[in-house]
Amino acid sequence: MATPTTFPVHRTQIAGIPISHLAETFGTPTYFYDSEKIAERVNDLKKFDVIRFAQKANSNIAILDFVRRQGVLVDAVSVGEIHRAVSAGYQLNGTPSPIVYTADIFDRDALDFLRKNPVHCNAGSPEMITQLGEIRPNAEITLRINPGFGHGHSQKTNTGGDSSKHGIWHEQLPECINRAAAAKVKISGLHMHIGSGTDFEHLSMVCASMKSTALSIGPSITTISAGGGLPTPYRESDKMIDIDRYFEIWDATRKELETAFHHPICLEIEPGRYLSAESGYLLSEIRAVKKMGDKLYYLVDAGFNNLARPIMYGSYHPISISHRAANDSNVTPTVEAIVGGPLCESGDIFTQEEGGFVCSRELPAAKVGDFLIIECAGAYGFVMSSNYNSKPFAAEVLLHEQTPYPIRERQTNEDLIRGEKIPSF
């Protein structure tokens, strides 16, 4: 059932722990993740045979370890992500594959690694079939198909259609079948991910395409993956997706294939955002409250070096305020404020729309020293961090059963120059 979401603009605690305590202990900017929310989202998806976390959304090894303990498998888009998964306790292979490598190319690093390590591969380009056959004869492979259309919450997260580089173009399927036969590679699965923020209208088209593609390949198919793309609420007007309906549509497709092939088909789902977005809070401190003409700015100590979604996609994140002084009331008047960061870049604004249009937000009146929390920041948050302006990466903390566990130290200025060298001319 779709349930309404509420995002308070005042907050005194995160996952039951006072913000003043968190800020004092860990400093700002810091990412906090509420493990209970992740577990709740995993639980929503339990009807699928395999939940495979698209770790690109949040690849801290503590998060991977946590989802692994919940029975979730993992997707990796690079050797670095495989390394993370293994460090978090995932085995390299097994049935179903604990780790799947999904990419549009094998870079040299990946080929080298996969030659020696039997991680299952999900190919996004026809060449990968031939290349896998060369390093691993008799391998099984999954094909990521681009069905010719896509959908996303922004043009940059649309991963289908001819303006996307992702996946194998649906019309190239006969070529792929020939390549697989020549390379002695068995096509054992199909995968479709047409973008983030999928809706039901597109879903029935994806399922129809999945069915016809699987039937063209035949009974070697034992797995189908629904990909990721499940939306999560970022605004109060956003509703939770109806997971039961989503599952039923995929389950019907799976059953049709089981009838056609006379064997079980494993149904996977591969969410990133859905599992981790709502768990994440980026805690920052307001360091300036200033007026520019008629406009009021809250400038905080987190910037797009910490959370790039607003500058990249014009993404909206809920924002709340936590007053530092204990006697500051939680019913302070609201003001229209623009929230910006510390970077020497005019796009360093958290309240902006796609295209870079700066907008203001109705927020509680706040002072320097108060805390500002950017919410729903657990997916595509920390993982997109940069050291722009030589700002160290933020710390990360997992909140589990009312206890904060540090899961990443804040970078130091020494970390920033590690690996750099001044040549001796």
Instruction: Give the residues lining the site for ligand PLP (CB under 6 A).
Output: 54, 57, 75, 102, 159, 193, 196, 227-230, 270-274, 379
- Least distance between ligand PLP and beta carbon 101 (Å): 11
Give the DSSP letter of residue 241. Answer: P
Instruction: Determine the Cα–Cα distance for residues 160 and 122; give it in Å rounded to an integer.
Output: 16
When the beta carbons of 103 and 187 are compared against ligand PLP, the nearer one is: 103
Specify the residue for token string 């549509």. 249
When the beta carbons of 193 and 309 are compared against ligand PLP, the nearer one is: 193
- Least distance between ligand PLP and beta carbon 58 (Å): 9
- Least distance between ligand PLP and beta carbon 56 (Å): 6
Instruction: Determine the Cα–Cα distance for residues 136 and 4; give it in Å rounded to an integer.
Output: 49
- Least distance between ligand PLP and beta carbon 76 (Å): 11
When the beta carbons of 274 and 316 are compared against ligand PLP, the nearer one is: 274
Other beta carbons less than 10 A from residue 6's beta carbon: 7
Amino acid symbol at 19: I
Instruction: Determine the Cα–Cα distance for residues 168 and 245; give it in Å rounded to an integer.
Output: 28
When the beta carbons of 40 and 336 are compared against ligand PLP, the nearer one is: 40
- Hey, CA dihedral for 84, 88, 93, 99, is it positive or negative? negative
- Least distance between ligand PLP and beta carbon 230 (Å): 6
Instruction: Determine the Cα–Cα distance for residues 232 and 101; give it in Å rounded to an integer.
Output: 25
- Least distance between ligand PLP and beta carbon 156 (Å): 10
When the beta carbons of 254 and 273 are compared against ligand PLP, the nearer one is: 273
Measured CA distances, 228 to 124, 203, 294, 311 (Å):
15, 12, 43, 23
Token pair of 160, please? 């289908």
When the beta carbons of 13 and 78 are compared against ligand PLP, the nearer one is: 78
Give the DSSP letter of residue 26. Answer: H
When the beta carbons of 227 and 341 are compared against ligand PLP, the nearer one is: 227
Instruction: Kindly list the catalytic residues.
Output: 344
Any idea what the Cα angle at residue 146 is, between residues 142 and 151, rounded to 5°? 125
- Least distance between ligand PLP and beta carbon 326 (Å): 39
Do residues 57 and 272 touch, judged by C-beta distance below 8 A? yes
> What is the β-pairing status of strands 357-358 and 361-364?
unpaired
Do residues 278 and 380 touch, judged by C-beta distance below 8 A? no
What's phi and psi for 337, nearest 5 deg? -130, 150
> On the CB side of 207, how many CA atoms lie within 13 Å of its CA?
21
